[in-house]
C-alpha cells in the first residue's frame, strides 16, 4: 500500500515537471518561449485538479486497506463515554428556513450504528447534551453523521470522522488510553469533502479504560 501511494506521488511530481518544464536549462538561464508559457498556463489550470484526484485516489486505497484489516489490529478494546453537546447547521434544509437535526454515530471500520440522538425540532442551533458509552478499539474512527428529520426521507446534512488516537505518552498502542476531548468544536463536511463545511458539532470523549472484547 505504501509503495502504491508513493508511486502516485512520484507520478504526480513527474507529470508536473514534464508539463510545467521545471527542469533547469543547461545554460543556467531561464528559457522563455510561447510554448513554455502556454504549457505553464495549461499546467496551472490542470495540475490542481490532477493533484486533488491523485490525493483522493490514494486516500481511497488507504481507507480500503485499513477496512480489510481485522479490528484487533487497531489496538486495545476500550470503553469510551461520548457526549454530544450541541451543533450548528449552516444551511437550512426545510422550507421554513430551519432544520430538525439529529446525529447518528457509527464505528467507521465495521459500519455498525452505535447511537442515535434525539431530534431537535425547528432549529439551526441544536442542543442535545446526550451522553452514552461505547466499546471500540482505540485506533479506529468514529463517524458522526448529521441528518434532518423529514416525514418521508431524512435529509443528509454532513459528517465528521474522528480518529481515536491512543495517547502513547501513557503506554503502548495495546495499552494506552485514547486521547480525551473536552467540549471540542469539530466541523461537519458534506460527504467528507474537506472544503465544504456544513456546520459544527461540540463533542466530548472520555476513556473509561480497558474492557473485554466480545469477539
More confident residue, 7 or 168: 168
**Is residue 93 within 8 Å of 155, Cβ to Cβ?**
yes
Among 43-57, 136-150, 151-165, name the one with the lowest average pLDDT.
Answer: 43-57
Cα gap 168→64, rounded to integer Å = 25
Query: What is the pLDDT, as a whole number, of residue 34?
Result: 55
The answer for residues whose C-beta is within 8 angstroms of residue 6's C-beta and 6 or more apart is: none
pLDDT band at 1; cut points 50, 70, 90: very low
Look at residues 187, 183, 181 and name the one whose alpha carbon lies nearest to residue 206: 181
47 and 92 part of one domain: no
Q: How far apart are the first and last CA of the chain?
A: 27
- Supply the mean pLDDT for the chain: 76
121, part of any domain: yes
For residue 173, is pLDDT > 80? no
More confident residue, 163 or 105: 105
Q: Give the torsion sign (CA, 204, 210, 212, 213).
A: positive
Judged on CB neighbours under 10 Å (0-12, 13-18, 19+), 176 is buried
More confident residue, 114 or 16: 114
For residue 9, is pLDDT > 50? no
pTM for this structure?
0.66
Which whole number is the average pLDDT over 90-106? 92
Instruction: State the DSSP H helix or E strand holding residue 23, giving kind and residue range, or none if neither.
Output: none
Cα gap 76→192, rounded to integer Å = 27
C-alpha cell at 203: 463533542
CA distances from 214 to 30, 71, 78, 137, 192 (A): 66, 12, 11, 12, 31
Which whole number is the average pLDDT over 109-121? 95
81 and 110 part of one domain: yes
Query: What is the pLDDT, as a whole number, of residue 68?
Result: 63
Please say which residue of 48, 67, 86 terminates a domain: 67
The answer for residues whose C-beta is within 8 angstroms of residue 34's C-beta and 6 or more apart is: none
121 and 61 part of one domain: no
Q: Give the torsion sign (CA, 57, 113, 119, 165).
A: negative
Query: What is the pLDDT, as a whole number, of residue 22?
Result: 43
Instruction: Please report, for the domain that includes residue 108, its CATH number.
Output: 2.60.40.150
Please say which residue of 67, 84, 116 terminates a domain: 67
Query: What is the pLDDT, as a whole number, of residue 161?
Result: 92
Q: Which residues pair with 133 in a beta bridge?
A: 81
165 and 197 part of one domain: yes
112 and 183 part of one domain: yes
Residue 153: count other Cβ atoms within 10 Å of its Cβ. Answer: 7
39 and 86 part of one domain: no
**44 is in which domain, residue-wise?**
2-67
Q: Percentage of residues in the chain with pLDDT exceeding 70?
A: 61
**Is residue 155 within 8 Å of 98, Cβ to Cβ?**
no
For residue 210, is pLDDT > 70? yes
Number of compact structural domains in the chain: 2
Cα gap 20→38, rounded to integer Å = 9
215, part of any domain: no
C-alpha cell at 197: 463545511
Which whole number is the average pLDDT over 61-88? 75
For residue 47, is pLDDT > 60? no
Amino acid at each position: 500500500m505504501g509503495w502504491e501511494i508513493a508511486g502516485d506521488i512520484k507520478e504526480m511530481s513527474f507529470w508536473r515537471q514534464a508539463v510545467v518544464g521545471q527542469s533547469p536549462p543547461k545554460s543556467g538561464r531561464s528559457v522563455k518561449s510561447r510554448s513554455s508559457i502556454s504549457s505553464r498556463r495549461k499546467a496551472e489550470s490542470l495540475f490542481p485538479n490532477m493533484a486533488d484526484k491523485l490525493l483522493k485516489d490514494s486516500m481511497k486505497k488507504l481507507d480500503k486497506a485499513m477496512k480489510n484489516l481485522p479490528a484487533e489490529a487497531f489496538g486495545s478494546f476500550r470503553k469510551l463515554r461520548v457526549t454530544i453537546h450541541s451543533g450548528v447547521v449552516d444551511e437550512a434544509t426545510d422550507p421554513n428556513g430551519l432544520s430538525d437535526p439529529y446525529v447518528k454515530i457509527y464505528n467507521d471500520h465495521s459500519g455498525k450504528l452505535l447511537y442515535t440522538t434525539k431530534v431537535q425540532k425547528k432549529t439551526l442551533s441544536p442542543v442535545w447534551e446526550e451522553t452514552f458509552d461505547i466499546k471500540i478499539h482505540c485506533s479506529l474512527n468514529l463517524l458522526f453523521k448529521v441528518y434532518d428529520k423529514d416525514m418521508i426521507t431524512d435529509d443528509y446534512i454532513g459528517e465528521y470522522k474522528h480518529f481515536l488516537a491512543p495517547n502513547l505518552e501513557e503506554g503502548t498502542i495495546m495499552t494506552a488510553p485514547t486521547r480525551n476531548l473536552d467540549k471540542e468544536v469539530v466541523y461537519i463536511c458534506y460527504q467528507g469533502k474537506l472544503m465544504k463545511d456544513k456546520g459544527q458539532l461540540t463533542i466530548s470523549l472520555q476513556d473509561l479504560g480497558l474492557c473485554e472484547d466480545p469477539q
